[in-house]
Amino acid sequence: MTTSLPPTGKFPAEPNQLERAELAAHLEAEGVTPPPKPLESFTKKELVSMLKSLLGESLK
């Protein structure tokens, strides 16, 4: 197995978006799942949609 880690085994302090995307793809390929999105970061529309799916469409 080869990795694209720097020789020191450490990642840059602030990776750019491309590096983050590559890292995320590599971790997903290895079976690592990302943590769930915090509830505070969802939009009102997303939260309402989730509540409707949990409680059923009877809320219309």
pLDDT for 53 = 92
In this structure, what token pair is assigned to residue 17? 């978006």
| Cβ atoms of residues 59 and 52 within 8 Å | yes
| Cβ atoms of residues 13 and 19 within 8 Å | no
| Cβ atoms of residues 36 and 29 within 8 Å | no
Q: 1-58 pLDDT, tens per residue? A: 455 555 555 555 565 766 888 888 888 999 998 888 898 999 999 999 999 999 986 6
pLDDT for 35 = 85
Residue 4's nearest CA partner among 36, 26, 30, 29 is 26
- Nearby residues of 5 by Cβ (< 8 Å), 6 or more positions away: 11
